[in-house]
Amino acid sequence: MDSIVSLKGKSALIFGVANERSIAWGIAQELHRAGCTVGFSYAGEALGKRVAPLAQSIGSEFVEQCDVADDAQIERVFSLWKEKYGSLDVLIHAVAFADRNDLKDKFVTTSRAGFHLAMDISVYSLVAMACCAAPLMEGREGAILTLTYYGAEKVVKRYNIMGVAKAALEASVRYLASDLGPKGIRVNAISAGPIKTLAASGIGDFRAMLKHHEKTAPLQRNTTQEDVGKSALYLCSPLAGAVTGEVLHVDCGYSIMSTPAIDEPGEPTAQG
Q: Active-site positions?
A: 149, 159
Which stretch in 16-24, 177-185, 211-219, 235-243 sits in contact with ligand NAD by CB under 6 A? Answer: 16-24
268 contact partners, CB below 8 Å, separation of at least 6: none
Q: How far is the CB of 201 from ligand NAD (least distance, A)?
A: 8
89 vs 227 by CB, closer to ligand NAD:
227
94 vs 143 by CB, closer to ligand NAD:
94
DSSP 223-253: --HHHHHHHHHHHTSGGGTT--S-EEEESTT
Of the CA atoms within 13 Å of residue 152, those in its CB half-sphere come to 24
Number of residues counted as binding ligand NAD (CB under 6 A): 27
Q: Which of 14, 27, 187, 195 binds ligand NAD (CB under 6 A)?
A: 195
DSSP 154-174: S--TTTHHHHHHHHHHHHHHH
Q: How far is the CB of 260 from ligand NAD (least distance, A)?
A: 18
Subset of 149-178 contacting ligand NAD (CB under 6 A)? 149
Q: Establish if 129 lies at the interface with ligand NAD (CB under 6 A).
A: no
Q: Establish if 147 lies at the interface with ligand NAD (CB under 6 A).
A: yes
- Helix (H) or strand (E) holding 64, with range, is strand 63-65
Subset of 90-109 contacting ligand NAD (CB under 6 A)? 94-97
Residues 229 and 184 sit within 8 Å (Cβ to Cβ): no
Q: By rule CB under 6 A, what string of x and - marks binding of each residue 196-235 to ligand NAD?
A: -xxxx-----------------------------------
* Maximum distance among all Cα pairs of the chain, rounded to whole angstroms: 73
- Helix (H) or strand (E) holding 85, with range, is helix 71-85
Q: Which of 7, 12, 23, 176 binds ligand NAD (CB under 6 A)?
A: 23
What gap in Å lies between CA 91 and CA 226, rounded to an integer? 18
Q: Establish if 12 lies at the interface with ligand NAD (CB under 6 A).
A: no
User: How far, CA to CA in Å, does 93 sit from each of 125, 208, 209, 228, 264?
Assistant: 8, 27, 24, 13, 39
Interacting residues toward ligand NAD by CB under 6 A: 16-18, 22-24, 43, 47, 66-69, 94-97, 121, 147-149, 192, 194-195, 197-200
